[in-house]
Amino acid sequence: MTKRVAILISGGGSNMIKLVESMVGEHPARAVLVGSNDPQAGGLKKAAEMGIDTFAVDHRPFKGDREAFETELQAHLDAAKPDIVCLAGFMRVLTENFVRKWDGKMLNIHPSLLPKYKGLHTHQRALDAGDTEAGCSVHLVTAALDDGPILGQARVRVEPGDTADTLAARVLVQEHKLYPAVLERFAGGSTDPIILG
Ligand code: GRF
């Protein structure tokens, strides 16, 4: 049975595009919905151009009431009945209650070699620490932020003169390879980790 995938974004959606483009042919899943907490997110227009249903629930009017925001988010997801939810540059922290509803079915991509550098500004923190390598991780989403079981990682060497931006750009190239590879394996029923680079 082909798995139904919903993707949540907050920005341009470059990871979302790679995921959608990868779900063709023999792939065990298909994208059925792309949603965002920002109605102006550039990725929504791109998803619509690729023929995917889209929605937006603006988090700002909820003034920090995450449960109320998530109730609306959940309603859109329930209507599409996804088997898997992919967070791809989705920048809202989800409550434990919401995460529990999608236990074992929600993935996230994070731009660091977890468990290092959970949260924000991952590349600057790697540079400040003098790390010789950085990277990205795809993990199952649990209640603790950026903490769930790791399904894949890609390593990138830190180059002399790197800034957070130059490092982020090289890591993003790896994200675009790692996330589709992990999703294909996960949708096929395996949680064996994938290690790139
Ligand atoms: C990516 O680097 C992702 O790891 C992080 O946010 C960025 C989103 O990029 N969470 P995009 O919206 O997929 O282009």
Closest ligand 1 atom to Cα of 88: 13
Does the pTM of the predicted model rise above 0.75?
A: yes
Nearest in space to 181 (alpha carbons), one of 1, 10, 23: 23
User: Is 14 known as a binding-site position?
Assistant: yes
In a domain, 195, yes or no: no
Question: Could you report the per-residue pLDDT of 67-121, keeping only the tens digit for each?
Answer: 999 999 999 999 999 999 999 999 999 999 999 999 999 999 999 999 999 999 9
Closest ligand 1 atom to Cα of 16: 13
Domain with 183, as residue range(s), is: 3-190
The sign of the CA dihedral 22, 26, 27, 30 is: positive
In a domain, 196, yes or no: no
Total domains in the fold of the chain: 1
How much distance in Å is there from the Cα of 104 to the middle of ligand 1? 21
What's 151's domain CATH number? Answer: 3.40.50.170
Question: Could you report the per-residue pLDDT of 8-66, keeping only the tens digit for each?
Answer: 999 999 999 999 999 999 999 999 999 999 999 999 999 999 999 999 999 999 999 99
In a domain, 182, yes or no: yes
The runs of H, that is alpha helices, within 34-191 are 42-49, 66-80, 96-101, 122-128, 164-187
Q: Distances from the Cα of 169 to the Cαs of 111, 123, 152, 164, 175, in angstroms?
A: 11, 10, 19, 9, 10
Phi, psi of 129 (to 5 degrees): -85, -5
